[in-house]
Amino acid sequence: MKTPECFEILVLNGLVDEVVSRLMSGKEADVYVVQSKGELCCAKVYKDIRTRSFSQMAQYQEGRKGRNSRQARAMQKNTRYGRKETEEAWKNAEVDALRTLTEAGVRVPHVYDYAAGILLMEFVVDADGNAAPRLNDIRLTGAKAREYHRLLINEIVLMLCAGIIHGDLSEYNVLVGRDGLVIIDLPQAVNAAGNNNARSMLERDVENITAYFGRFAPELLSTDYGREIWKLYANGTLSVTSELTGLFKQNDTPADVKGVMREIDYARILYERTLARKSQLS
């Protein structure tokens, strides 16, 4: 195909030999198959920031560190410079997350390069070498749905152990590759420790994939891995070998409000006595 303008720099400096085809034009990015150094790979070109809502992005950006304090301050403001920096951070976030997750053993596409706002990564293919379908494009047996659900729950745990929550996990962002499931689309990845919405995002990721697999294996719909995983994470006991049950026991014991008030009164009396003693001494 004719080389789109955005690839010109990459072609000029030899990173891309040829743009083969456009795979997908999504809301936030265009995805192409390109030939790079003699191999087919996938190129993700991010769309302009104006197509995304700034406030929605802010929710994901929380807890992310800017390159420096000037950038961090700019990102908090909705100015032109702030938006540019936010956009850069958004693109880099996907590259960073993909690299961290590959290192942590999560099956995501390998990053080959990131230049001129374009992410060059492994092209995930099916058994015939064509672009891999998304989970949403295939039908599953109950047994396969249970197997894939288990696998993705393990991947979610691996991601969280690496400090990352996908934030938009669903049947649209998992590819069924030749060698198994591959998780994609991570510009919104959330820093688990530094984001106040982390818990609800993790629970939503788990709910999304459970609802999808539940169509083929309805018994999955009564599991609650999200809250179970978060509880272990919050306790500091989550590990890749954690035995998960899919059950979550809510603590229904009523809070001992009177007991807590007694403790507070007691602490206050002690404090007042200390103050009184100090004023007598001085």
Ligand X SMILES: Nc1ncnc2c1ncn2[C@@H]1O[C@H](COP(=O)(O)OP(=O)(O)O)[C@@H](O)[C@H]1O
Where do contacts with Mg ion occur on this chain (CB under 5 A)? 173, 185
Q: Which does 181 bind (CB under 5 to 8 A by kind): Mg ion, ligand X, none?
A: none
Min dist. Cβ of residue 37 to ligand X (A)? 17
Q: What burial class does residue 59 get, using C-beta atoms within 10 Å of its C-beta: 0-12 exposed, 13-18 middle, 19+ buried?
A: middle
Min dist. Cβ of residue 18 to ligand X (A)? 17
Min dist. Cβ of residue 169 to ligand X (A)? 11
Place of tokens 């492994």: 122
Pair 28, 51: CB distance under 8 Å: yes
Q: What burial class does residue 11 get, using C-beta atoms within 10 Å of its C-beta: 0-12 exposed, 13-18 middle, 19+ buried?
A: middle
Widest Cα–Cα separation across the chain? 89
Q: Which does 29 bind (CB under 5 to 8 A by kind): ligand X, Mg ion, none?
A: ligand X
Query: Judged by CB, which is closer to Mg ion: 86, or 173?
Result: 173
Residue 131: DSSP 8-state: B
Give residue number: closest CB to Mg ion.
Answer: 185
Query: Judged by CB, which is closer to ligand X: 28, or 224?
Result: 28
Pair 111, 91: CB distance under 8 Å: no
Min dist. Cβ of residue 173 to Mg ion (A)? 5
Pair 103, 149: CB distance under 8 Å: no
Min dist. Cβ of residue 14 to Mg ion (A)? 29
Pair 115, 15: CB distance under 8 Å: yes
Positions touching ligand X (CB under 6 A) are 23-24, 26-29, 31, 42, 44, 109, 121-124, 131-132, 134, 173, 175, 184-185
Query: Judged by CB, which is closer to ligand X: 184, or 198?
Result: 184
Query: Judged by CB, which is closer to Mg ion: 61, or 173?
Result: 173
